[in-house]
Every structure is written in structure tokens, then in C-alpha cells.
Homo-oligomer: A and B are copies of this chain.
Amino acid sequence: MVNSLAPGHPDPGSTDRTRLRRIPDKAVTERVTAYEILDAGLVAHLAVLQEGQPFVLPVGYARRGDEVLIHGSSGSRLFRTLAEGVPTCLTVTLLDGMVLARSAFESSMHYRSVMALGSARRLTGDEELDALTVLTEHLLPGRSRDARPPSKKELAATLTLALPLDEISVKVSAGFPDDDPADLIDPIYSKIWAGVVPMFTQFGTPIPDQFTPEDSPVPDYISTWRCE
């Protein structure tokens, strides 16, 4: 389950800190894969170090070019610490299925994960406004044309940060169980069912709030929402 990267790959985002130490067959370095994973996810987990204690925060995010955008409350001590440019790590993990091997040891999960190391910078002015639109459009595709844009007061309550995708690692676990050859001919374990149970995330039926007019239709764009 630990993120790692294949050694010696030409990816410019691979450094000594993110290069492989093990399981090279599970590592892929293509930046295009990293961006596909980031574009498919909704929630990232972000490290913030404070007085020697690391915290891991869940945050909504969006990718814009070679950066990941995040936003939080300007009243959040952890978010203010991030805005100061301390070293951080942002990880996005998509769980795709469970792998039932013949042994407990080889049983595992299908997942795709991206880890980005670096320091965030605070966005202001038009760059912040654009970032907030990108965030809304990634998290709620289509909604930015309906929703009211942020007011000055709301912007003052928001810290919008960008983390460069310079130093990244990608790991994809896929395929069937990699069982011990002895288990495949064992009189007991060779008989059991082994394979993969896929997992997927779906959206359910939209539920309007009490203030939505009865004649206000569910927006078209919601029907296009999909999870990978």
C-alpha cells in the first residue's frame, strides 16, 4: 500500500525522495497517469506539520495545469500554516477493488494513488478567482454557470492555495492475485475461488432542499456526473 516509484524513469517529477525503493512492478511514472488520477478524484489528503506533529487533512481539490488547487478557511490554523509555504504532501487515492488471493499475504486492493511533495503558494486577485471557478467546476461540473460567485467578504474568509506538481509519484495496483506457485497446486488452496471484486462509486438521486421552487428542474449537468 505504500507509494513508491520505479527507479531511473525519465519523469522530471521524480526525485530521490519519491523514487522507488520496492515493488517496481506496481509503479508507473507517467505524468499522464498521475493527471488522470487527479482528475478522477474529489478528495485529497494533505499533510501539515505543526510543532513536530504531522496532521493529515481531507480537502476537496482540483488540478489546473501543473498545479493542484485547494482552498480552506482563513480561520484555520492548519491552512494558514500551509499558506506560509511549509513542506507538505498531498495524496489522492482511488480505490478500485479488492483482490482475493489464495493467501492472506497476497490479498490486496486495486488502487491508484498520486503523491505530490512541495510547498503551496497563496493565490490572490484574478488568479484566486479563476482557481475557485476551477475548483467548483472540478467538484461540481457545470455548476459554476449557476452558482453565485464569491463575494469580497467570502473571499476574505477563504485561503486559496496552489501546490506545484513538480515532485510527484504515482502508484497503480491492478491485475489478478500474484499467488505463491505452491498455493496454486496445494490440494486445499488450489480449490478456492480467487480473483478480483471491483468497486465503484456512484451518484444517487438528487435531493432538493426546501427552498428550491417546485418547478425548478434538477440541473442537466448532474446527470453527466460520473465517478471512476
Q: Which residues of A contact B (CB under 8 A)?
A: 1-4, 17, 21-23, 42-43, 45-49, 52-60, 72-73, 75-79, 87-91, 93, 95, 97-98, 100-105, 107-109, 111, 113, 115, 117, 132-133, 136, 139-140, 143-144, 146-151, 154, 157-158, 176-177, 179, 183-184, 186, 189-213, 216-219, 222, 225, 227
Determine whether the beta carbon of A57 is less than 8 Å from that of B102: no
Whether B218 contacts A54 by the Cβ 8 Å rule is no
Whole-angstrom distance from the CB of A82 to the nearest CB of chain B?
Answer: 10
CB pair A107 B143 closer than 8 Å: yes
Pair B198/A107 contact, Cβ less than 8 Å: no
Identical copies of this chain, number: 2
Nearest residue (CB) in B for A78 is B2
The listed residue (B56, B189, B196) touching A56 by CB distance below 8 A is B56
Chain B CB within 10 Å — which of A60, A108, A213 has the most?
A60
A29, chain B: closest CB distance, angstroms: 17
B58 engages A100 (CB within 8 Å): no
Q: Are B1 and A58 in contact (CB under 8 A)?
A: yes
Q: Bound complex: CA of A216 vs CA of B158, how far in Å?
A: 56
A209 to B192, CA, bound (A): 11
Q: Which of B43, B87, B133 is in CB contact (< 8 Å) with A111? A: B43
Can you list 30 pairs linking A and B with CB atoms under 8 Å apart?
A: A2-B73, A22-B76, A47-B89, A49-B49, A49-B54, A54-B54, A54-B88, A56-B91, A56-B115, A58-B111, A60-B109, A98-B139, A98-B203, A100-B222, A102-B148, A103-B154, A104-B148, A105-B157, A107-B147, A146-B192, A148-B186, A192-B212, A193-B212, A194-B208, A195-B208, A195-B212, A197-B206, A197-B222, A198-B203, A201-B202
